[in-house]
Structure 1
Amino acid sequence: MTLFPKNLLQILFLLNAFFHLGFSVTLFDWTILIVNDSKSQTLTTHCQTNGVDIGTKTLNPSGKQAFLCPVLVKQRTVATCDMTLGNSHGRFDVLDFDRDRNRCVDKACLWHVNENGLFLVINGQLVLQYPWPK
């Protein structure tokens, strides 16, 4: 019985040191799903999660892309994508955990992209979040 409290104290000490040294720990993964709703144009995405490049994807009309973004302890969690649809281009935060944790459901953010911009599904409805930059 005396080993348990000692081991528990050691674990708590190590976790505390781990956090103070700036290491990040993943709590869970959040899913980002991007759907190209354009009828005629391809959508190109180049995304990063917490600064890690996940690559470039080309989505045909009605095409979909899904990727995971680890939600980190004691560090801002962000997934960002450069997107191009026809002549429109922009850089967008498709997950900012502090902003989106109550807007997206089941640890997933669902984005629909068309000629008008980027729409997030909020409470079952498409809501324009980002019009294309002019």
Structure 2
Amino acid sequence: MLKNSRYEHFHVPSDPFIESERTKGKIKTEFCRAWISTTERFILQKPDDLPFCKVVAFIAVPHYWSSQIIVFYDEDYYRSFWERTGPEQFWTKIDSEYSFCKEHTIKTSMSEICYREKLVDDEIVEGDLWFYGELS
């Protein structure tokens, strides 16, 4: 867990095993189900007396090990978080009827949105970020 005054974020508590090609799809689905369930518990257990607090998780596909749960304490930071336009990181919102949860038979009442991410460093890495939780 890393913390500052604007947010905290929790990374996947495992090694890169979760995103290995050898790891079976059922195991990856169970990880996603548990990650979403943990996010739901965070939301239910957050204190009522915080001036601003939103809980959001993302599942990074196919880079599951990069998944996080983020607790936002600053409204301005929360709003600016969604704007990733480079030069090293680009997010494009995916407007589609496809649902990661429905595809993997994961039940949740939380909102779901997806961004296609492109990271540019020594190489280009692309993937989808599926967000769940308190989304605006």
TM-score, normalised with respect to structure 2:
0.28
Pick the structure with more strand per residue. 1
Larger radius of gyration: 1
Identify the structure with bigger relative contact order (alpha carbons < 8 Å, sequence gap 6+): 2
